[in-house]
Amino acid sequence: MDDKQIILDAMRKAGEPLAAGKVAEITGLDRKAVDKAFAAMKKDGTIVSPVRCKWEPADK
């Protein structure tokens, strides 16, 4: 499973918008890996930001 899928699964499980630091904490991934995945996911529309600095899956 790639980082993006791990992050999306964690976000769906949490059920609320999460900051990158919280995603790194939950998944055990390195913060830099989470930031890199977030950048790609923001660009392709996989995640959206309903609240400043917090993200959730676009398709919930």
Label residues 37-52 b or e (16+ Cβ within 10 Å = b). Answer: bbeebeeeebbeeeee
User: pTM for the whole thing?
Assistant: 0.89
Please tell me the predicted confidence (pLDDT) of residue 59: 86
Q: Which amino acid is at 3?
A: D
pLDDT classification of 60: cutoffs 50, 70, 90 = low
- Which CATH number characterizes residue 33's domain? 1.10.10.10
Structural domain containing residue 19: 3-57
Q: How many other C-beta atoms are found inside a 10 Å radius of the C-beta of residue 11?
A: 23
For 14-28, the pLDDT digits (tens) are 999 999 999 999 999
Domain total in the chain:
1
